Amino acid sequence: MVLNLRVMAPNRIVWNSEVQELILSTNSGQIGILPNHAPLLTALDMGVLKIHTNGQWSAMAPMGGFAMVDNNRVTILVNEAEKASEIDPDEARKSFQMAQAELVEAEGKRRIIEANLRFRRAKARLEASTTV
């Protein structure tokens, strides 16, 4: 048995193929999805989406969104997503370090919220680029 995975962003289809297993980063933690999973609708957090297909793991960094699982179909709608293969690990590491420094130096509610968002995005990209 397999799952039909489709990951869609507003400007493109990021992934569309059959997979054996998924690990999603949701707002309440990570969950694994296998064939015949119970129907599910969940919000996604910025994090790493791990995809097992053809005996190999792949990763991507979705920037929030929603996932729906039903009848061995997984549809993921994201604001934005990057496959690990599209992310330069050195650039991701530099962005993460810069975002970390910005977060430490941020003052005022608005700047702290913006810095935290940049930090979480940079962290997700770095994790995806170094996963697998």
Q: What is the pLDDT of residues 72-100, one digit of tens each?
A: 999 999 999 999 999 999 999 999 999 99
d(CA 111, CA 117): 10
| 56/12 same-domain check | yes
| 95/34 same-domain check | no
| 44/108 same-domain check | no
Q: What is the pLDDT of residues 97-132, one digit of tens each?
A: 999 999 999 999 999 999 999 999 999 999 999 876
Full domain range(s) for residue 120: 85-130
| 100/80 same-domain check | no
| 57/116 same-domain check | no
* Number of compact structural domains in the chain: 2
Q: What pTM was estimated for this model as a whole?
A: 0.87
| 77/89 same-domain check | no
pLDDT computed for residue 131 by the predictor = 77
Instruction: Say which CATH number the domain at 52 has.
Output: 2.60.15.10
CA angle at 116 for the pair 115 and 119, rounded to the nearest 5°? 85
3-class DSSP state for residue 114? Answer: helix
Taking the CA of residue 3 as centre, how many other CA atoms within 13 Å lie in the half-sphere pointing to its CB? 27
Q: Where is the domain boundary, 47, 68, 84? A: 84
